[in-house]
Structure formats: C-alpha cells, structure tokens
Structure 1
Amino acid sequence: MPPQDGYRAEDLDRIPDLPPHTELIDGSLVIVSPQKRFHMHMLRLLETQLLEQAPEGLEVIREMTVVLGERQRPEPDLMLIDARTEYGMDATWIRAEDVRLAVEVVSPESEIRDRRRKPQLYAQADIPHLWLVEQERGSLATVHVYRLDPVNRSYTHTGSHRDRLKTDTPCDLDIDLTWTPRSRRG
C-alpha cells in the first residue's frame, strides 16, 4: 500500500522486490514495460558512440535513476554525467546537478511521460541538455535535441537529426544514427 502522500526518492532503495527500471514520478511508482527492439538498438547505438566520443571528465551512464527532488526519481535511458563526482560501485542513483545530458528513447507506452513530464522534471532540475529519440517509419530514428533555457527553466528545441547527429553541446559529438553493431560469432 503506497503512503498517503506518495513515495519518496529514497524509498526506491528500500521497497523489496521492485521490478528492474522502476521509476518514481510525482511520488508514484512507474513500472516500465518490456522494451521493443528499436529501443534496445538505439540504446546500444548511442551508448557505444557516446563511450567512444565522450571527453575526459564526462561519464556515460545507462538506465540508472536520477534524484530530481523528494518525490522524483526517473530513469533516463542514458546520461552524460560529470565524472569528477565520485559514485561508489554500490550507488543506485545519480544527483541531478551532475547530469549534463539526459537521453530518452520514446516508447509508445511511455510517450506522454517521455515527451512531456520527464522534460518538465529535467528542466526544473536544471539539467542542461535533453535528447528525445523517436522511431519513424520502420526502424529509422530521429533525435530531437533540446537545450535548457535557464531563465524559464524549460527546454528550447535546437534541432532534429536523422542519419547523423553532430553537435558541440554538451561536448563535441558526431553520432552516426545509421550505425549497426557487427554480429559477433565464434
């Protein structure tokens, strides 16, 4: 039975037997549905290229929650965080002030959260950059890039990218959106 005023960020580490990737949005637990192959492919594509290109001082984090406030602990699909902050191997969350980029691969079952609520929460927590990745016509991907307007604490759309995402924020990146992993046999 949930608490009357909702769950708090620290509760995610105390509730036994939660499914993997459970998020906390507005004090409510959000159980994530199984992901489609497009989602997994885009995570692998972006993670691989971010790992190769992220400069020293930035670390790539996949599917880990970020504490945005007392009742907010969403799980971006990927993040670039300040690597100078020491998180031990037992850490289960990242602090919002360490996140430089949050990436959400939009899924049909989480479309409203991914496109509306999470961007609001990330902006209110002053996360400077956001990418929303969407599937178009079959398996093609479009990455919508946003930059935080610190005065209004909302995101400004700076571009949509297909085939290639080339940007200098939050760092110099040149992401091939047509990349496919080589099959490993042996």
Structure 2
Amino acid sequence: MNAEPLPDEVDEVDAPPEWLAPAGGYTAEKFLAMRGLPKHTELIDGGLVFVSPQRKWHRRVISMIRGQLRTQAPDEWRADREMAVRLGLRQMPEPDVLVVSAEAFGREDPQSYYEPADVALVVEVVSPDSEERDRDTKPFKYAKAGIRHFWRVERGDGEHVIAYAYELDPATSRYVPVGIFHDRLTIGVPFPIDIDLTALEN
C-alpha cells in the first residue's frame, strides 16, 4: 500500500525554458524583437509579465478615461491606450491610458512604443492581478523616467471609480499625491481636465 504524500510535499517542477527567463533578463531590444507573445505582455526588470484577460469593468474604465482625455486634450496632446513606454534598458511597461505629444502620436517610427519624453500622463486601472505592479512597481519606474503625471484608478463598491492623482517632484524623482477623486476628477494638469467618474454607474 502506497502512502499518500503529505500536504506540504511538492512535486519537483521543471525549470522554465531559457527563453522565458534568460540569465540577466531581457533587454528592451530583445523584447521588441520577440514575436508571438500574448497580448499586453510587459517587460519589467528584464522579465516578461503576462496579464490575465481584461474584465469588463477594467475595459470600460479604460475606454471612458481615454475618451474623455481625447475630447478634452488641446491640439498639442493626444490620448492613447495600451501602448508600451520604453523606460530603460530592461523596462517596457504598457500603461492602460497615456497622454502623449501630438508629434509622437503621429510619427511612423517607432510604431510599437513611446519614449518617456513623449508622455505627459500615464494612467493605470488596477485589476486584481495587477495591484502590486500598479500601486508600487510601475509608478516608481514612471517617476524615475521623468513622466510628470500619474493616475491610479481603482474600483470601489459596485461600479464606483476612485482616481488617485500624482505629480512628479523633480527634487526627489518621486510622485507626490495631488488628489483623491470619487465623483469627478477635476484637475489643471497636464491640461484642464474634468471627468465624471460616476458615468459607469448610470
């Protein structure tokens, strides 16, 4: 009669293939050259980050914020969504929404990412599998790269949207909070913006 394995015993697990975790991690150049990656794969600290399929609330919030920013942006700015930003040698996150210069939005090359100097605002809409990245890892890297404005958008009760706005302190290269918004996001930077956060509840 064979004994059942104890609950804390774990079968041996094969090491991941070298392409998934090469020594030293991936550079942005190698990441850009890869084909066949799942949609919205990011490069963070040289590692590939795969994301779960989007939930309806997450997709609707991204669409609402991008639509409002697109409508309200002056001529020199454009709103985009889910495009990578090349922050450094081994960093290529993909914000949910971005405000970029009209010149960067319209240029042909590079076609698959923006540079930090192109970006005025990045927005991350938090989902259950991205909480740590959206609250800690990615804001730190956006700030270090010099992106001046960052919003983190989270779900309250039901469909309720809560937005946390931050601005870069150039003396410390860190974000400082400038507001928490529950019903309307009204702010003057990077340009005057007024978004009804209750729109998803109607």
Following the alignment from structure 2 to structure 1, what is the Cα–Cα distance between the partners of residues 36 and 201?
33
Residue from 10, 19, 22 that aligns with 1:3: 22
Q: By percentage of residues, which structure has more strand?
A: 1
Following the alignment from structure 1 to structure 2, what is the Cα–Cα distance between the partners of residues 133 and 25?
20
2:102 is matched with 83
Residue from 134, 137, 140 that aligns with 2:154: 134
Q: Write out per-residue CA displacement over residues 54-98 of structure 1, whole angstroms, 9 at most, x where no aligned residue.
A: 111101110010000000000000000111235217700000111
Residue from 135, 152, 174 that aligns with 2:194: 174
Alignment of 1:115 with 2:140, yes or no, is: no
- CA RMSD in angstroms, aligned pairs only: 1.6
Q: Aligned with 1:147: secondary structure?
A: strand
The answer on whether the counterparts of 2:160 and 2:201 sit within 8 Å (CA) in structure 1 is: no
The range that moved more, 64-73 or 170-179, is: 170-179
Q: Aligned with 2:199: secondary structure?
A: coil
The answer on whether the counterparts of 1:143 and 1:161 sit within 8 Å (CA) in structure 2 is: yes
Residue from 59, 70, 82 that aligns with 1:40: 59
The answer on whether the counterparts of 2:163 and 2:181 sit within 8 Å (CA) in structure 1 is: yes
Q: Give aligned pairs, total.
A: 182
List structure 1 segments (4+ residues) > 3 angstroms apart after TM superposition.
none
Following the alignment from structure 1 to structure 2, what is the Cα–Cα distance between the partners of residues 170 and 90?
24
Residue from 79, 82, 90 that aligns with 1:71: 90
The range that moved more, 137-146 or 85-94, is: 85-94
> How far did 1:181 drift?
10
Between Structure 1 and Structure 2, whose CA radius of gyration is higher? 2
Question: 1:23 is aligned with what amino acid?
Answer: E
The answer on whether the counterparts of 2:84 and 2:113 sit within 8 Å (CA) in structure 1 is: yes
Question: TM-score, normalising length from structure 2?
Answer: 0.86
% same residue: 43
Following the alignment from structure 1 to structure 2, what is the Cα–Cα distance between the partners of residues 90 and 98?
12
1:149 is matched with 169
Q: Structure 2: which 5+ residue stretches go unaligned?
A: 1-17
The range that moved more, 158-167 or 6-15, is: 6-15
Question: 1:142 is aligned with what amino acid?
Answer: I
Following the alignment from structure 1 to structure 2, what is the Cα–Cα distance between the partners of residues 44 and 72?
25
Question: 1:171 is aligned with what amino acid?
Answer: F
Question: TM-score, normalising length from structure 1?
Answer: 0.93
Following the alignment from structure 2 to structure 1, what is the Cα–Cα distance between the partners of residues 109 and 118?
16
2:113 is matched with 93
